[in-house]
A and B are shown apart, each in its own frame.
Chain A
Amino acid sequence: MTNDINEPTALDYAAGGGLLSRRMLLGTIAASGGAMAAGLAVPHRAGAQGVVPEWVTVAGHRARGYGMPAEAEAPVQRAIIEPWQDVAPEFSLSGTPLQRLRGTITPSGLHFEVHHGGRPDVDPDQHRLMIHGLVDRPLQFDLNSLERYPMVTATHFLECAGNSLVNAVMPEPLQAGCDVIHGLLSNSEWSGVPMSVLMDEAGVQPEGKWVVAVGSDGPSLARSIPIEKIMEDGILALYQNGERIRPEQGYPMRLLLPGFEGNMNVKWLTSLWVTDAPAHTKHESGEYTEILADGSSVKFTFAIGVKSLITHPSATMTMSGPGFYEISGLAWSGVGKVARVEVSADGGASWADAELVEPVLPRALTRFRMPWQWDGSPTILMSRAHDDTGALQPARPDWKARYHPSNFLHYNAIQPWNVTAEGEVQNVYL
């Protein structure tokens, strides 16, 4: 690919398709003489000089007790999918609009939801958490007493095992935004009581190897969880991004199992039943198992594999002409930290390392960014992540080859975005 015509002399390329050296990231550029000197696009100055906007001529609004997003931001919503519509509206998926967000923390009101029986109205005064089964002291806790326990705070992503399912199973790529394709992914700062403190208070007996966690929703969603995970880093989360957990996320309390598939992070948690074996609950018997290419299945596939995604630009967006862009995206792994993200702007012919925005936390979303000079010709953008266990995100054909064609779970393949000459960004398979 040649881009001689538009190529400003000061640009320093890292790979094909216009990927720039990270030295060209904003900040560095400003220090070295500004965007103009580097020949990068500069926004037009908007509006006429000297106009006095109306809002500087009137007194502002009175204070309000709970702030809301600006009215103009009202279109920033979760994408709601009810697969069976009015037949079973209680079963729904709501995808986070990742393409409208920056940074790594998902606003609580935009955190994705997957409901198997709708969002219950839980009365926090009546709600209790029971710990029973193979314990020395069966116990129950109310919310007030849990408030007095020592609390930890940790930032972790949650991803539904079925995230990106359209790319996993649809023969032709769906033209939809990241909210629909990849939105069952969010990241929050969670605060709550370490599970080990509560389990130790109840006294888990030596035969206690699994814990069946049950939610206080209509279907009483239940999952079997290895005791090792509960004790290692399980959190009884009471707070999400500093405030009490939202009803959609399990108010007044949910189980948080960092890095494990979303379904196991039981919302509206009411019971932890310690057992000697997994119960083979409904979800771990069918819905959250995967059929492999040879017809056999895998069960108890808990951790989320390494994955990444370019959010800016991404499908349904339109580029505003050739010039400088910052490619930005998210990377994560359910077993550790993101070690490295590579970006390609020429359909995978060449790759360059993106900058990982600090802090890079284990089992949390990591933002990556990469400067890019788009010369206006059609191209394909992709990212691929490595985690600190050495795992690398697979290409779609490699992922598909392992599973039965019907499998839509634990899809973590590379997402290519096709950029047309007109600047349209489209979902494609490679």
Chain B
Amino acid sequence: MYTSKALSIILIAAGSQVALAEGPDLGQPLTSDEIPFYATYVMPDGRGLPEGSGTPAEGAEIFAAQCTECHGITGTEGPVMPPVGPNEIWAKPAGSYWPYATTLFDYIRRAMPLDHPKSLSNDQAYALAAFILERNGVIDADTAMTAETLPMVEMPNRDNFVDVWATQGAKPW
């Protein structure tokens, strides 16, 4: 239809002004210092990782003090989704199943321990990620996790995923 085509060209030409006219335009400017860390996510390539560092040994101490009641003494017993595998409870243990190690740091920092989320420092979150990775045999005991080393970790299951959205969109698998 010629007219509707012409109309859409006009709309495209008018650009953002048309878009703004859809609503009352009441959004207030948001500056970067108003954005809390949990409103973003550490990306698989390491973008968003803060300064800091932690070793598996440091992580072991924090884990023993704050995590074992839910995840077990060695991280395999549970009862809650043990992050160390293989274990008898959870087929997808975080430290070996997840495709990217960056997720461990981010998730622990924002969500764990469940009853005191956001209580851990960046160093502690690095150390806990290091501990869980070391227990899963993904890194060795001497490697500290930092903004540089964490994104370099090769997770063993990474290439074992099919991205369904990329291959077939919303069509259910």
| Interfacial residues, chain A to chain B (CB-CB below 8 A) | 84, 87-88, 90-91, 116-117, 130-133, 136-142, 145-146, 148-150, 193, 196-198, 200-203, 212, 214, 218-222, 224, 226, 229, 259-260, 270-271, 273, 275, 277, 279-282, 285-287, 289-291, 295-306, 334-335, 389, 391, 404, 406, 410
Interface pair B23/A193, CB less than 8 Å apart: yes
Q: Please, which residue of chain B has its CB at the minimum distance from the CB of A116?
A: B111
Bound form: Cα–Cα A392–B38 in Å: 40
CB distance from A282 to the nearest CB of B (A): 4
Bound form: Cα–Cα A219–B117 in Å: 6
Knowing A220-B110, A275-B43, A335-B170 are in contact, say whether A198-B27 is a contact too (CB < 8 A). yes
Bound form: Cα–Cα A218–B119 in Å: 11
Which residue among B34, B99, B110, B170 has the maximum number of chain A CB atoms within 10 Å of its CB? B170
Interface pair A410/B70, CB less than 8 Å apart: no
Interface pair B172/A301, CB less than 8 Å apart: yes
Contacts of A270 in B (CB 8 A): 39
Interface pair B100/A280, CB less than 8 Å apart: yes
Contacts of B111 in A (CB 8 A): 116-117, 218-221, 282
B16 located at the interface, meaning its Cβ lies under 8 Å from any Cβ of chain A in the complex: yes
CB distance from B113 to the nearest CB of A (A): 10
B173 located at the interface, meaning its Cβ lies under 8 Å from any Cβ of chain A in the complex: yes
CB contact between A140 and one of B30, B42, B94, B160 (< 8 Å): that residue: B30
Contacts of A131 in B (CB 8 A): 27, 30
Bound form: Cα–Cα A224–B103 in Å: 13
Q: Please, which residue of chain A has its CB at the minimum distance from the CB of B92?
A: A286
The 0/1 profile, CB within 8 Å of A marked 1, for residues 104-117 of chain B is 00110011101101
Bound form: Cα–Cα A337–B109 in Å: 41
B2 located at the interface, meaning its Cβ lies under 8 Å from any Cβ of chain A in the complex: no
Interface pair B160/A296, CB less than 8 Å apart: yes
Which residue among A270, A277, A302, A406 has the maximum number of chain B CB atoms within 10 Å of its CB? A302
Knowing A130-B39, A139-B29, A299-B161 are in contact, say whether A281-B107 is a contact too (CB < 8 A). yes
Contacts of B24 in A (CB 8 A): 145, 148-149
Bound form: Cα–Cα A233–B49 in Å: 33
B6 located at the interface, meaning its Cβ lies under 8 Å from any Cβ of chain A in the complex: no
The size of the chain B interface, using a CB distance under 8 A, is 58
Bound form: Cα–Cα A289–B173 in Å: 11
B40 located at the interface, meaning its Cβ lies under 8 Å from any Cβ of chain A in the complex: yes
Bound form: Cα–Cα A332–B172 in Å: 13
Bound form: Cα–Cα A130–B100 in Å: 26
Contacts of A300 in B (CB 8 A): 163-166
Interface pair A145/B44, CB less than 8 Å apart: no
CB distance from B6 to the nearest CB of A (A): 22
B142 located at the interface, meaning its Cβ lies under 8 Å from any Cβ of chain A in the complex: no
Bound form: Cα–Cα A302–B166 in Å: 11
CB distance from B86 to the nearest CB of A (A): 12
Bound form: Cα–Cα A271–B39 in Å: 6
Contacts of A296 in B (CB 8 A): 160-162
Q: Please, which residue of chain A has its CB at the minimum distance from the CB of B41?
A: A279
Bound form: Cα–Cα A133–B31 in Å: 11
Interface pair B26/A132, CB less than 8 Å apart: no
Knowing A84-B80, A87-B70, A220-B38 are in contact, say whether A200-B161 is a contact too (CB < 8 A). no
B25 located at the interface, meaning its Cβ lies under 8 Å from any Cβ of chain A in the complex: yes
Bound form: Cα–Cα A193–B25 in Å: 13
Contacts of A88 in B (CB 8 A): 70, 80, 114
Interface pair B29/A137, CB less than 8 Å apart: yes
Interface pair B172/A305, CB less than 8 Å apart: yes
Knowing A139-B28, A139-B30, A201-B27 are in contact, say whether A218-B114 is a contact too (CB < 8 A). yes
CB distance from A49 to the nearest CB of B (A): 57
CB distance from B121 to the nearest CB of A (A): 17
Bound form: Cα–Cα A389–B170 in Å: 12
Bound form: Cα–Cα A417–B43 in Å: 46
